Structure 1
């Protein structure tokens, strides 16, 4: 075996890696195209939803008396200015019971999963005596209070919203009137601004459509959120994991519990109530993602990372057969087998877009193994050697699928595979005279393939 031939094989591997890089770029392009279609579906329906609220807001006007000095007469006089502001109150108790149904929307070969969440929201506010203002209460005048609920994409509201406030039915109107909540709804509250402590019981139903994710901000002093859905692959997201959850093939149910001690929302709200955006307030949320965990593009991209290993092992198998059996394989034959290995990834990508990754992998691997096995039978002039080579290659594809499926153990399985292959190679070549390979062997005859 000449150095020239080894150099040719190395050059073939380099050229095949360039082709594989182009296929990897194609995977990224198809993934970006898919993401663009999903973005278009969400743009024409509704995006991910985040529910923040309800919050009770009491606008106020306060008379502030300032003593000033008249520069000409040197007499003091009192000037009164009016300060405007708002008092913000979070619920003493916040409860949400949501039942979610999912549906698939298609555009071409791409699919997006939408959800419809039927939420029953209830709880109560406890307004302290004198709104917690103490002796300064007499200096305040109060405008009509209102309750605001932040909904990140109001296009997803699917029902007429009515508030049940201590048995009284009130209509919501668009807009929160609270910058940090963003989009949403609000409702005026016909409550008296008396001096006594007041408890307000509220309840309303909200049917909400969205895509991707549903998140809830636990605004209550104590909050309880119960979600159930027909989606069997939930990914729980946000700052808090559910206290209890059950996941089955029919769907999932999950329950979150939170309190002011863990969320610190009242202090955060007081700190940034006047801001247009309060990332800290919005970040105190939790929920569930309805994005499918089976991403054929991600798995195709992961599989192509093992391409160099596949090509190197396949070529090493050819070299081993050349050395042990005294056969000669032309570099062109190496190139054709390498091209078949590279085309496996293109077949896998194109088929997985239509029939799913698992079936696409089975069909692509079977086609490539069959083609290479058939070709090797003729290259080596032996059906037994060709079938053995195809069986070994099929085993490698099976091991690769195991690596792709076992994310947590992929490194361990990959290390054991490489070590096992090294053991086999060393055992088969332990008595081989490597120096003798550099000398022309009279017994080695180039195999003719007609």
Structure 2
């Protein structure tokens, strides 16, 4: 009977573990649902104000038409027309930007936003690329050259100025280019296309989470600084140098036309790109406008204002360790049960496991209102206090309850370390499991496991079977 009772208890504990796995899955689904609501809040702020910003330009373009005569098979004459745009990319482009935080809130959710002051200097050796070429030996006609600056969301533009030398140019809305419908343009005064050109563009704009620059020049230099201390550098090029501290960051990029396809993409009329955020920090790609073929410019120099202590990302990481820590808690209870020679009912194991799983729900709910570290301390303190109180009754004495609470506190401390050590989490987790196994083996090295089945280690197997 004792042997059957032991096996039944193990089977019941297996069922309890499966039940707790289901509870953890439900909490994990809740984390995903809350994270989805955060993304919906971000999309709502972007729709109401301004979304992520990517800058393209300045570039110089002309809208041209070519007309030629055609003769149909029946001898009827007609005129055909081709509309096209020619572009001149800068030989040198220098971008200097300062971005300051202007966070927004929608309900419980904080949205990282910024106000940017950007200065761009662009130089052309000549504008001969604006000379149109006839494809059908027809008549060519072109508008005056214009300076074009495209942005992802023109609602974020506040103040924009364009100067050629000391002379300001009249800035007008729109780019007059269907590939980049959002932005601005300014008509250039007449000048020979063989002469060089230098332009200065200054703009104040607002955006959300992401900021990027398309390196559409033969040589591009970008310097950005912000008071955000946790940048996630995205795009296709990392900064050549960066400085990050508690006050913010400063980063510099240098890109040559030999390393980027941006010039060809712009000339081909591909759409403005989005920005790929770091998935390990809870990021996801920001939207690209896309052209009729779904193509967009491939290269950007960008960063994202990602919060490394995102409550939903951290809660998701904690839940991934949840089953392991529940099992370790069960091992601790079983070990104390053996050493104290006091039987623990499977229902008590279930209640202990539920207390452990509710910790993750407390962590999620508190972290939406408080800092993650404080939320973790409060949730862990509540769980440790409850398990210590219950452990004293479960194991028979207050001293054993305190010992059990201490073991649980060590587990929660180890989990907090794992959550904050991204690169070393695997080695710390493996070391923790090895230490737990070593402790269990050490504490149980003198236990006669055969005695739990009603016989001794020296008793032969067939004699023990007959004794049942």
1:35 to 23, 32, 39: 39
Q: Does 1:255 align with 2:252?
A: yes
Answer yes or no: is the 8 Å Cα contact 2:53–2:212 preserved in 1: yes
> For 1:385-420, what per-residue CA distance to the aligned partner results, in whole angstroms no more than 9, with x for missing partners?
221111111011100111111111111111111122
CA drift at 1:108: 2.5
CA distance in 2, matches of 1:115, 1:348: 29
SS in 1 for 2:8: helix
CA distance in 2, matches of 1:308, 1:130: 64
Partner of 2:282: none
Answer yes or no: is the 8 Å Cα contact 2:88–2:129 preserved in 1: no
CA distance in 1, matches of 2:162, 2:22: 63
C-alpha spacing 1:52/1:100, structure 2 compared with 1 (3 Å): same
CA distance in 2, matches of 1:179, 1:434: 79
Q: Does 1:18 align with 2:22?
A: yes
CA drift at 1:40: 1.3
CA drift at 1:203: 1.0
TM-score, with length taken from structure 2: 0.85
Partner of 2:280: none
CA drift at 1:428: 2.3
> For 1:229-288, what per-residue CA distance to the aligned partner results, in whole angstroms no more than 9, with x for missing partners?
111111111011111111111111111111211114333334447994687662211111
Partner of 1:182: 181
CA distance in 2, matches of 1:268, 1:348: 47
Within-5 A mapping of 1:208-227 = 208-227=205-224
CA drift at 1:313: 1.5
SS in 2 for 1:179: coil
> For 1:47-104, what per-residue CA distance to the aligned partner results, in whole angstroms no more than 9, with x for missing partners?
00111112211233446577x79999xxxxx998665433211011111111111122
Q: Does 1:155 align with 2:155?
A: yes
CA distance in 1, matches of 2:74, 2:151: 54
CA distance in 1, matches of 2:81, 2:351: 85
Equivalenced residue count is: 433
CA distance in 2, matches of 1:130, 1:93: 15
Superposition CA RMSD, Å: 2.8
Answer yes or no: is the 8 Å Cα contact 1:94–1:224 preserved in 2: yes
CA distance in 2, matches of 1:326, 1:439: 15
Structure 2 runs not aligned, ≥5 long: 272-289, 457-468
Within-5 A mapping of 1:291-440 = 291-439=306-454
Answer yes or no: is the 8 Å Cα contact 1:232–1:252 preserved in 2: yes
CA distance in 2, matches of 1:277, 1:90: 23
SS in 1 for 2:369: helix
2:10 to 6, 11, 34: 6
> For 1:334-378, what per-residue CA distance to the aligned partner results, in whole angstroms no more than 9, with x for missing partners?
222122111111111111111111111111111111111122112
Partner of 2:142: 142
Partner of 2:459: none
SS in 2 for 1:6: helix
CA distance in 2, matches of 1:326, 1:69: 103
CA distance in 1, matches of 2:74, 2:20: 90
SS in 2 for 1:127: coil
Answer yes or no: is the 8 Å Cα contact 1:265–1:281 preserved in 2: no
CA drift at 1:155: 0.4
Answer yes or no: is the 8 Å Cα contact 2:58–2:122 preserved in 1: no
TM-score, with length taken from structure 1: 0.88
Answer yes or no: is the 8 Å Cα contact 1:272–1:278 preserved in 2: no
CA distance in 1, matches of 2:35, 2:27: 12
Partner of 2:57: 53
> For 1:274-321, what per-residue CA distance to the aligned partner results, in whole angstroms no more than 9, with x for missing partners?
994687662211111113221111111111122211221222222222
CA distance in 2, matches of 1:186, 1:353: 43
SS in 2 for 1:191: coil
SS in 2 for 1:198: coil
Answer yes or no: is the 8 Å Cα contact 2:66–2:134 preserved in 1: no
C-alpha spacing 1:129/1:357, structure 2 compared with 1 (3 Å): closer
SS in 1 for 2:244: strand
C-alpha spacing 1:303/1:71, structure 2 compared with 1 (3 Å): closer
